[in-house]
Structure 1
């Protein structure tokens, strides 16, 4: 008989003093790995993300369910000294980890900053998720994902030549910062096993954006040339982009000379692989426009299904460009069991993209109502007195 293992963070308690996306996303990751996550929300309306819809499910935005399922919710006013004191006691009594993404200086004035809480509980792992980091001229400036995509340089190389500037329509810096927070917290918890001491972890949206652009920054510092805007393509590999077939668009990634030679054979333009302008990847990058025009001409002659089958048979990486409705019913998505339903059946969300011994964490708790777990503060008050 197979016995399901406890999740890796079973027994760990996380208090999330956060809103919107970055800290809640980190909390969702830690919670999906087995931690108990106690979410602290403003009594007046709760987390802003509760209203980030439509669509809404049970009065909260679908986005809120996706990021906050399985947590407990305490609704309170941090400005109320008694309530802030109870939260402090709850953290000292129960928490292993605190996540916070309030504006700079916000938690300190309530006695809930890293130094303040770690003085009372030295084993605490405390993670600050900020906008621009803990030093520098922008450290106190509020920040949101689109702003940081702009300031961090990401928008400068998105889209195609001559197109209006655009942002990635996913909150990559919020979610990426949540990922870095989870990594930092896990590393600190691992070190605590050896030392017994907690520590303060700091991450920010701006640092995350700079990290996403790490390859482009390294290229620029080496060459002095700013990154181009290549649409579906990439700067350093050609051909590695979308092509329009007779009836639809497909993605093709012929990432080395051997794959390019095979691609030319499939497209019945084999001589192109021996043309000095295209024989190596460096040459193909230099002569990108001439090559892409020739390949596009060939792809446009036949429908997508023909090219996908032929490219697959030749071992050339390729695929259709799917819309979300196609993704959620795709047999690969179903085979991986990625879509999960909350325990109350209210919402379907994307599960954690990690498996342990072939098993994906699957205990998806329901999304809390605002203040549903305020009894935790009442218990703390009773235990304190």
Structure 2
């Protein structure tokens, strides 16, 4: 996974986390608002019941508020009892304080609050008592000192769940992000180690190749068949090892974020002939029948020669490997808008539709059925697809079971990407 993709995933996850937290906070805010509205509604209903109770209490109606602004102890107890009863009916089991205040113009004067004189804010809940006293304008006002605590306590379960959920999300996001970045770093260290080791292997591989070539030439002259046989085995296995090393280096190349193509003009027809001839020389004879049908008139392309050779070699090599019978490969070209289409078709076992969805994935290997000599790491087509796209082209595949497969590679003629 490329570095920028790691940070993109972390960024998107962070935005999603913030969105979830804001959603939870919005829900908490609305829940508090709704709970406050419900509290006010219950207080309003309770006040209505209180007024009705007062109107039915003939003793209380006869109360007279004297000039000393005081209530009798009996009146105070009656008011307190009526309030408590009606608040309990509305499940408002909460501490409260009440006062009787006189309306003088737009101001409020204290009359009585549990024998303590002080101003009462105008925002307190109130009910007008003017219809129940002989003289003046009076209000019954109630203050709930623990209102906020009461509302929060009613929502405590859901608030606790929300807070725990938010903390869980934050901790999980942090852990996953740190683990992802740590794994990315370990992956880079592993890849660097493999690449360095692979580079180091190239020197002894080249030395072994050179030494076996000298042995083969020397013993061919003296006719030592046994030495020739084992020297050829060493040479072939060394060649296979070289191919595997090159494949690992190819993958390392495309996984670098800053790799660049070294482009030059290439005659694609001559290059295909060269690749097939080279494969025949490596195996001592043609691995199968190769038919050519070059129809493209614009066959000079601007591309990286090294990678184009690897692309075509991989596709032809796969066509030979996945054929149970005598391989027959058809290679054709034709002109397309601003580019060339290279088609490589085989008569192999074919690929199922489910398999075709995965063949360009890293390390994926096509099931070989009754073909047991196919070896590899599942890197070839992954490399091919990435390199074709790096050149500004595309690759498509068509296949039919027991009939064969066809790979179409489009490459632009004058692609300017690097």
The alignment's TM-score, normalised by the length of structure 2, stands at 0.20
- The higher radius of gyration belongs to 2
The alignment's TM-score, normalised by the length of structure 1, stands at 0.21
Could you say which structure has the greater relative contact order, defined with CA pairs below 8 angstroms and 6 or more residues apart? 1
Larger relative helix fraction: 2
